[in-house]
Amino acid sequence: MKQIDLTNNPKSKKSPFKVPEDYFENFATQMMTQIPETIFVEKTNMAKNVEVLEPTITIFTRIKPYIYLAATICGLAFGVKVYQIQKQYYAEKHQTPVATVNEAQAAQFVDDACDFMMIDDHDVYSCATNTF
């Protein structure tokens, strides 16, 4: 085997690699087919004889930020409404029931209890004053 010469002598380092014919000439054309086309409307300014290129902006592109803004507000409003409904639902669910009893009903309960236990006013008085 020939001895390798690594002394940076250009004559000794011919590249061992080849490329297909016209590869470099055709590469750019082939490459550009993979690059997305940007749509430009060409305007020719005849007075100044200057070619001006301006990108086309569709209506959707113009209103897109407003659509996003409206969608965000709707989303937020919906979220707040759902939160309020849930809060109300849980508040109602976990509320402690309170029975409202008026004075006449209370007196009636006491009378019924006294009848059931067979006690009279005297017994009640003795019990209250601890004298029986």
Partner 1 sequence: MSYLDDSLITRQLHDPATRRRAFEELVKKYTAQLYWQIRHMVLSHDDTNDVLQNTFIKVWTNLDNFRGDSKLATWLYRIAVNESLTFIQKRKDTLTIDDTEAGPAAELESDPYFDGDETDLQLQKALQTLPEKQRIVFNMKYFQEMKYEDMSEILKTSVGSLKASYHFAVEKIENYFNAND
- Per CB under 8 A, residues contacting partner 1 are 1-4, 6, 8, 10, 13, 15-20, 24, 27-28, 31-32, 34-35, 37-38, 40, 52-55
Please report how close the Cβ of residue 66 comes to partner 1 at its closest, in angstroms. Answer: 23
Strand partners, 43: 52
Please report how close the Cβ of residue 23 comes to partner 1 at its closest, in angstroms. Answer: 8
Please report how close the Cβ of residue 92 comes to partner 1 at its closest, in angstroms. Answer: 55
Please report how close the Cβ of residue 49 comes to partner 1 at its closest, in angstroms. Answer: 17
d(CA 101, CA 129): 27
d(CA 42, CA 53): 5
- Nearer of residues 40 and 109 to partner 1, judged by Cβ: 40
- Nearer of residues 39 and 101 to partner 1, judged by Cβ: 39
Per the CB < 8 A criterion, the answer to whether 126 and 132 are in contact is yes
Q: What are phi and psi of 43, to 5 degrees?
A: -115, 135
Cα 22 to Cα 10, 17, 34, 98, 127: the distances in Å are 25, 15, 19, 93, 120
- Nearer of residues 28 and 99 to partner 1, judged by Cβ: 28
